[in-house]
Structure 1
């Protein structure tokens, strides 16, 4: 079924003019950006309770007051990266059934409500260049959006996630409360117009939880549309790789950041869901193979037994299961890009694996990107559009002309409400 409406029939230059006319006429819907993993600045403060494991390295010349922990390139070089790993780590408390910082480390996601923190994650790194998210911001501002007036940002502590009912997630739940208040504020500041939520990657998961944890009358009153870009609804094989080998940052040994990466609640949340990945091998070793149904054993075998209990009790009951929110949802993602699907290890997990690729957006596997389409097919009360963009990557989808057209269609109010799935 094809898609009609302004985005499908007008070229980008005319779309921009069309949107500008709506801005002048006061018809612009407020827009809230919820970024993906790693795209929020995390600030930290060290209290007297912080007892570094290496006092001569991490205790000497420690910052006074709040400082930028993520992202600061100086923290990601030796030997400072060892302090970064300790200060950025989370710890699961089985008694409290929740995650907390290293004792003595306080953290916050800065610039909540604003998009300012998305322009440059590391403002001191002049070689960083403009990110795709920053490029999208520039285009929105050229179209007439103004930060804090009708354009808002919702950064969050991407180390945390959300858990199944009955399990606390203090930080993640507080973010949803703050985001709920921001949605209401954005609508009230713009004459009561409902908000368009534009989310990327992990931010899409939080946004769908936001909708489903608020009552239906709230959703229909305050949210016009959720536009989810590259949403990892069913997790991804790459998360298993990070648990096994560690995160990949330029100039940093993967093993240096392996422990801190494993500690993130969000990484467990992003493991491939058994519902969508099934029994197909994801990790292959000489001793045994691991599929999405074997992840508890996999976590124990890679040396992370402390992650098994929270994965089983907090993550597995909700992995890949998404209730339709009843408000319109548009999913936009790339296809046809080689995407890691199977990791072949030799003796142990210390060496780099051989990687076998399938297809997706280069980061998220296709079956994960398609998960809600499968979940919600046959649900007539759920308006859903699924837009597949050939050769668009996980990051480039943010600045693709198709994405831009769909966003402008929503904020200008010219959307077509029917349900469809199509490829560009």
Structure 2
């Protein structure tokens, strides 16, 4: 994705300052045309009231955990006439959905999640619009030709409560947690914030400008939130892939910066060492259990995601156990490059070797209090068995322990090493029977997450 297709700086992603007395939050989509922009500090002065009781919270979602918007340019070449319209709607009885899903004035529309847009026969259109492509000239990944994208609602939780507001029942994500925090007095844009990002990318060497800019914007957001909340350290709560991003970000900062601005890091259901499920995504595609969607239609775009490479099993966690078997042999986490070659994705070998090892081999504990939360006791893919029909068929699943998505060995991968760090304030909360997604919606688990956040109010604001 070219830099010019992304908001230039955090200042232009935030809201314009509100008129005096007007109540508003950071809800506008990034890059809205015709909206006078203000500096972060100016906007925050008019929007945020200092809380003397609640530690400010920033939520970092997981993969697919926030909305993405896209715009089609003249360079876009649809694969069929079905893909010519920018948006797709169900029959007219869903009037609200049709009204909400129309294009914005600047031509952007919600690409993820738009429930009608991922259903057959439009699944192919979705897949070709959301896929990434590697640009050898820049050495980074970018959008498909003719597609621009952006992340709306940076700074707000609006884009991560429900992924498709028109179909809340099937797209609820952080809404239950957000509502629980609001019941405790948190207010979006004042003491509660969101850090959505383009979850297709990964940080590190040769990172896309999109990934690098998110890290810059996250740092700016933290510093401004800290300032506008009476210099009270921020609580970062992340889910899934967001935990990997959160740890990577923290470890790029100095110890003094972490200890000044961050009061508590709460990673939830983090795949520290990847997942076996990710190997299924690369081998045969995965439709998240939606039987009416052909996983092979999604496979190419899923393979193009840098973050999916990041989520492949790490040798340091899975060791030499066989994770995928075929008639010709098996693959362990030590053989990921050979696995990518054998499934027919040789271009992934270079991307994996040049980007992923530094990410999965550096999981140092941050210099701040950490409460790690995950669940176990759910059947989770531990080994994938492919028949003579090959990788175009879905595998037989051999299950192990985990949260249904992430293996237990990955969820707990950093526990021992972090607990052994001298002076590290480290706690682990282990739940039972909560899946990777229901840990954010189940009453018991949400209550525990809220309690972990509220415990941060005991930390006094820095002087």
- Match of residue 207, structure 1, among 246, 254, 264: 246
Displacement after TM superposition at 1:321 (Å): 2.7
Alignment-derived partner of residue 321 in structure 2: 280
Q: Distance in 1 between matches of 2:119 and 2:407?
A: 31
CA change 1:316–1:138 in 2 (3 A) is same
The DSSP-based 3-state class of the residue aligned with 1:312 is: helix
- Match of residue 34, structure 1, among 49, 54, 60: 60
Alignment-derived partner of residue 151 in structure 1: 192
The DSSP-based 3-state class of the residue aligned with 1:196 is: strand
Q: Distance in 2 between matches of 1:337 and 1:409?
A: 23
Alignment-derived partner of residue 297 in structure 1: 338
Displacement after TM superposition at 1:41 (Å): 0.3
- Match of residue 44, structure 1, among 53, 57, 70: 70
Does the Cα contact within 8 Å between 2:273 and 2:314 map onto a contact in 1? yes
Alignment-derived partner of residue 82 in structure 2: 57
Displacement after TM superposition at 1:395 (Å): 1.6
Are 1:321 and 2:357 matched, yes or no?
no
- Match of residue 133, structure 1, among 174, 181, 198: 174
Identify unmatched segments of 5+ residues in structure 1.
1-22, 417-424
State the Cα deviation string for residues 207-231 of structure 1 (Å, max 9, x = none).
1111111122211111001001101
- Match of residue 444, structure 2, among 377, 401, 416: 401
**Aligned positions of 1:101-116 closer than 5 A:** 101-116=143-158
Q: Distance in 2 between matches of 1:294 and 1:342?
A: 14
Are 1:342 and 2:383 matched, yes or no?
yes
Alignment-derived partner of residue 11 in structure 2: none
Displacement after TM superposition at 1:83 (Å): 1.4
Alignment-derived partner of residue 176 in structure 1: 215
Q: Distance in 1 between matches of 2:316 and 2:60?
A: 26
Does the Cα contact within 8 Å between 1:32 and 1:154 map onto a contact in 2? yes
- Match of residue 430, structure 2, among 363, 383, 388: 388
User: Is 222-231 or 118-127 further displaced after alignment?
Assistant: 118-127
Are 1:242 and 2:242 matched, yes or no?
no
Q: Distance in 2 between matches of 1:312 and 1:381?
A: 35
User: Is 176-185 or 24-33 further displaced after alignment?
Assistant: 24-33
State the Cα deviation string for residues 254-289 of structure 1 (Å, max 9, x = none).
111111111100000000101100110110101110
- Match of residue 226, structure 1, among 256, 265, 284: 265
The DSSP-based 3-state class of the residue aligned with 2:167 is: coil
Q: Distance in 2 between matches of 1:409 and 1:126?
A: 27
| Superposition RMSD in Å | 2.2
Does the Cα contact within 8 Å between 1:30 and 1:411 map onto a contact in 2? no
Displacement after TM superposition at 1:342 (Å): 0.2
- Match of residue 256, structure 2, among 196, 214, 217: 217
CA change 1:216–1:395 in 2 (3 A) is same
Displacement after TM superposition at 1:139 (Å): 0.8
Alignment-derived partner of residue 121 in structure 2: 79
Displacement after TM superposition at 1:371 (Å): 1.3
Identify unmatched segments of 5+ residues in structure 2.
1-48, 88-102
TM-score using structure 2 length = 0.80
How many residues get paired?
391
Q: Distance in 1 between matches of 2:436 and 2:168?
A: 24
CA change 1:322–1:87 in 2 (3 A) is same
TM-score using structure 1 length = 0.87
Are 1:254 and 2:295 matched, yes or no?
yes
Does the Cα contact within 8 Å between 2:236 and 2:265 map onto a contact in 1? yes
Displacement after TM superposition at 1:410 (Å): 3.7
Q: Which has the higher contact order (CA 8 A, sep 6+)?
A: 1
Are 1:186 and 2:228 matched, yes or no?
no
Alignment-derived partner of residue 269 in structure 1: 310
Displacement after TM superposition at 1:184 (Å): 1.0
Displacement after TM superposition at 1:25 (Å): 8.0
Q: Distance in 2 between matches of 1:122 and 1:413?
A: 32
State the Cα deviation string for residues 376-419 of structure 1 (Å, max 9, x = none).
24211322112211222212222453553353344354669xxx
Does the Cα contact within 8 Å between 1:276 and 1:320 map onto a contact in 2? no
